[in-house]
Every structure is written in C-alpha cells, then in structure tokens.
Structure 1
C-alpha cells in the first residue's frame, strides 16, 4: 500500500526539464533541500495566520514546492554524481524538519496535546524505515498517510478550517503507516539470509561509491597555493674576498729556509725559546765571534 507515493515516478518525469536546467546551472542539492524547508515554513505561517479558505491557495503552492524540492535534491545529486553520506544525512534532516514545521502551523488552530501527538506520529514512519534499512532491509516509503498525504491534508485544513479533525487523521494515519511499514520490514528481514545479505552488499557498495564521490569533490575544491615570485629587491653585491695568503716561496715561515737572495749567508742554529727554534742568516760579525770562541 504505497498511497500517493506510487505517483512519484510520474511526478519525477514532470520535473525532468527543471532538473536538467538545475544541472546546467550547477545548483547544489543542499540548496534544494534548504529550499524545501523554507517552503514548509512558509506554508505553516500561512496556515496559522491566514483565515480559511484564503490560505488554501498559498499553502497548496508552498507545499507543492516542498514536495518538488524533496524530489529534486536527491535526483540532482544522482545526476551530477554528488551523492554523499553527508548529503543523505542532510536530506533526512531536511525532510523531518519540514514535516514538523507543517504540523507547527496547527498550533493556533488546535489543542497543544493534539499538535504534539500529530508531530510525534509523523516521525514514526520514517523511524521505522530507517531502522529497517539499518538492519539490512530495503528502504520502505509510502503508506496510507505518508509525506504526500500529510501535505494534502494540510491543504484541506487550510481550505476548510477543520484543523482538529485533520490533525486527528494525520496522527492516526501516521501511526497506521508506521505499523504497516514495520510489518513489511519484519517480513523482509525474515527472508532467506542470502536476500538480506545481497541488500546489505548493495548498500555497502553504494556507500563506498558515495564516499569516493565525496573525496573527489573535496579534492577538486582544494586550493592549490601558487609559489610567490622571487623578491624584486636589489641583489646584494658580494663582499670582496680576502687577499690570498702569501705562498711559502714568497715569505719564510717558522723552521723554513730563507729565500734565494739570503742563501749566500751561512745559517745560525739560532736560539730556542718556548720550544720554537728561530733560524736567521749569519752576519760576518757573528761568524768572526764564533771563530774566536772556537780557538
């Protein structure tokens, strides 16, 4: 029992042209999810503040936009290869927020306890579907009173002013939908293990593909730093190198022989001072003194 959810393929075909235009303009699926929440908030405000039946047309247009954006965000993500785990999370949060906002529009029109009961009941079908998908069963949608039927009932309330009866139908119908989905999920999980395992493998493959797509998108958005050009400051002139040290052939060092023009004089053993022997050329006077001492 899918209810009005069975019309989803037909409705998606009617939106194909708009979807192609959004793909051409590179609109983000997150933007469409946010637009659906905004439409739900506008419908709730119109339902709460405008009298019936004046609110009916505006509520109908805004809720039709809410359903259209809910259909387009997932389709756009698949067409552009941008299905990611974060996108799936944002889609679920956006759908639940939109449902609660529509129910909040009944606050000035119905008792608080009934509004609270209807808000809780509208969450039950999605909780059952998500629990079944987490256990390995296919995601179950539709039902006697699903998302589309709730939007239609809100338009009926805006046109007729019967807020309390409509809320009672929403609460009871949502609870019945949750039970129907729970029974279907229970039977699906009771099938042979190979069927459930095949579904689980498909979910794992889809998750890995989505994560790979997310990594590719993140890598494309990575900003590559361009190396800065070299500084235009004037280059510093190199400091002059020190003059080369004199070679051993040009100046005598300690313990070395004198140069060629001093070799005509005999050498004196010199004196030993501080463990260093200093040699110097022997003058004629020193040579005479040495000869007299030897005699």
Structure 2
C-alpha cells in the first residue's frame, strides 16, 4: 500500500522532470549516497539562509532554491540507486537518516527567528509523520505519504518564513499540522494492518 495526498501527489510529475538529471548522474557513476549527502548540505544551507540575511525576497528565493534542491536529492538518491542496481538495505537506511537530517538542519535556521522551545517542538513534531509511515512499512502495510502537512508542505512553510519572517505563527501551524498528519497516516494504516492479521 502506498497512498499519497497533498503536494506529495505531485511526486510522479516531479520525478519525471528529474529524469535527465538522474541519467546524467548515472552516466558519471555518482553514488546515491553522495546525492543523499548533497540533500543534507542543501537543507543545512537553507537553515543558514534562514538564520542569516533579513527575511525578504532575496532570502525567500535562496531558501526556496535550496529546499527545491533538497527535495530533488530526496527524490533522486533512491531512484538513482534503483536505476544503477545499487539499491541496498544500507542505502535505504542512509536515505531515511539523510532525509531527517536535512529537514532538522533546515528547521535549525529558525532559531534566529523564533523561541528555541518552539523550534524544537516543531522539529520534533515534523518527524512524527515519517515515524508513523516507517512503522507501517515495517509492519507490512506499505508506506503512506503525503499531507496535510508532509515533507513538501513543511519545505513550503520554511520558504514562507524566509520571505516574511513570520516564524512563530508558521512554526505553530507546522507543528500542529504535523501531528494531524501523523494521526491521519496512523488511521490510514490501521485498517490494512488489521486485515493483514498476525500478532495484533
């Protein structure tokens, strides 16, 4: 089972746009792990951009570009591994850890714009949808993705912060929305897991 909603539903379209980039990387024997690392670097760059210049058009465009690169890397690393026959369990682990690290690095930039406790709560809440999805996949129900506040929406929220400086209200919405998203994903998984039977 792989169900999507929100902006994540655009992933097939986005993946198609990245076909040429993926082919270019494959031709040059770029390792999928290097793409994952580049995604973390892009997330960290977005965090630095949020913490650096004053919010506005320049900061917004820079953060948008860096987070677009971060999302592209998140899309490309696994696809590149499959295309080149390098997919592995270790690679899947690197993929997941790098995705979380890139997001946390980006959120860290908000420490310059909002209270540390709010940034910490939001960063923690933002991990919940992924943990629920991973738990569902580990239990055999497949992986659910998407919103209402999934990875893509959270990146968009950080772009809004960079343009406007409205860190506190945006982070509050992201935190609450991430919790709702985790609950929605849990509910989507509950029925299929019950039909699978087993321990519970």
Q: Tell me the TM-score normalized by structure 2.
A: 0.94
Number of equivalent positions: 194
Distance 1:93 1:192, change over 3 A: closer
Greater relative CO (CA pairs within 8 A, separation 6+) = 2
Q: Structure 2 CA distance, aligned partners of 1:114 and 1:29?
A: 34
1:142 aligns with 2:146: yes
Correspondences of 1:1-295 after superposition (within 5 Å) = 2-53=5-56, 54-193=58-197
Q: Tell me the TM-score normalized by structure 1.
A: 0.64
Give 1:99 deviation, angstroms: 1.2
- The ranges of structure 1 where at least 4 consecutive aligned residues each deviate by more than 3 angstroms after the TM superposition are none
Give 1:116 deviation, angstroms: 1.1
Unaligned runs of 5+ in 1: 197-295
Query: For 2:37, what is the secondary structure of its paired residue?
Result: helix
Give 1:73 deviation, angstroms: 0.3
RMSD of aligned alpha carbons: 1.1
Give 1:192 deviation, angstroms: 4.8
Q: Which has the higher strand share?
A: 1
* Rg comparison, structure with higher value: 1
Q: Encode CA deviations 1:15-60: one digit per residue, 9 max, x unaligned.
A: 1011111111111000000000000000000001111103111101
Distance 1:187 1:13, change over 3 A: same
Unaligned runs of 5+ in 2: none
| Residue of structure 2 in register with 1:254 after alignment | none
Query: For 2:195, what is the secondary structure of its paired residue?
Result: coil
